[in-house]
Chains A and B, each alone.
Chain A
């Protein structure tokens, strides 16, 4: 134990003077890693820890990401253009659908009309004659009945 302490002191002395070899520095770190070594032990612990660290960076991914970021404003503009294009397409589609719907309505109505005016006139005449015949028949009967009632009026004293 004493010899270890002696060795540690000796190494530490050389370390502060900057005359230790790399091997001696490793030895000093291994001897000075306890809590009793205070800040120096923590410092050596930190040095050991950093020395053992490594990192593995995906260089290609990083470069692609960086290139992507520098192209971002262009992408945003493209998105906006696409949004406008989609809105216009939607409006045009809506217009065509509405227009087609409107055009279909008169077609249904036209099935009940006549394209030939002569034929239409003839049909109208027939319809009116039919209605007139019905009306006249009723009218004659009504007039006859009224005449019978008028006879009674003459007989009954006022």
Chain B
């Protein structure tokens, strides 16, 4: 596969991968680091990419696996990255950035309590705004299974939110 074609594929999937990694880690730099690693992984397997039917589902699955792998190995640390590689969508003030970081950490913490499938389904629904059918296609599940995953995911989220309101610092 030529670099230009590969770049075009990455252009399509890099934002969802980045947002998924951010939902898992709650940290911008770790998320960027994970996306970079996924891109390198995909480039190494570039000859097989032609055979993949749903590139978005494939890249999100790799991103999810890498996030889980890193969590397990406790390797989610802010990475040293070349800032020239990235363009941020906005430039919030340091104060606003701190609030946003706290909120992102809360999302990451909330999703941590879910199992891998629930978490994937929740991110695709809440962050990416996909329909149940789209989630089913991306996760290779049937639509009813997705509805169950979202329902259980939200029940777990509700327990987490109640605990945070009772004992957490936010509220």
Chain A residues packing against B (C-beta within 8 Å): 15-18, 22, 25, 38-40, 42-43, 45-47, 49-63, 65-66
User: Which residues on A sit within 8 Å (CB–CB) of B160?
Assistant: 39
**Contact, CB under 8 Å: B15 / A54:** yes
Q: How far is the CB of A39 from chain B (nearest CB, A)?
A: 4
Question: Taking chain B's interface residues, is the majority helix, strand, or loop, or is none over half, making it mixed?
Answer: helix
**Contact, CB under 8 Å: A18 / B18:** no
**Contact, CB under 8 Å: B10 / A47:** no
**Contact, CB under 8 Å: A62 / B39:** yes
In the complex, chain B residues 13-66 whose Cβ is within 8 Å of any chain A Cβ = 14-15, 18-19, 22-23, 28, 31-32, 35-36, 39-40, 43
Chain B residues packing against A (C-beta within 8 Å): 3, 6-7, 10, 14-15, 18-19, 22-23, 28, 31-32, 35-36, 39-40, 43, 82, 84-87, 89-90, 99-100, 102-107, 110, 125-129, 131, 147, 150-151, 153-155, 157-158, 160-161, 164-165, 168, 170-171
Closest to B4 in A: A60
Q: Please measure, in the bound complex, the distance between the C-alpha atom of A47 and the C-alpha atom of B131, giving whole angstroms.
A: 16
**Contact, CB under 8 Å: B107 / A54:** no
Closest to B151 in A: A18
**Contact, CB under 8 Å: A66 / B40:** yes
**Contact, CB under 8 Å: B89 / A39:** no
Given A18-B150, A63-B40 in contact, is the A55-B106 Cβ separation under 8 Å? no
**Contact, CB under 8 Å: A49 / B100:** yes
**Contact, CB under 8 Å: B10 / A51:** no
**Contact, CB under 8 Å: A50 / B19:** yes
What are 13 A-B residue pairs whose CB atoms fall within 8 Å in the complex? A42-B170, A46-B106, A50-B22, A50-B104, A54-B18, A55-B32, A57-B14, A57-B36, A57-B86, A60-B7, A63-B39, A65-B82, A66-B40
Candidates A16, A50, A53, A59; contact of B154 at CB < 8 Å? A16
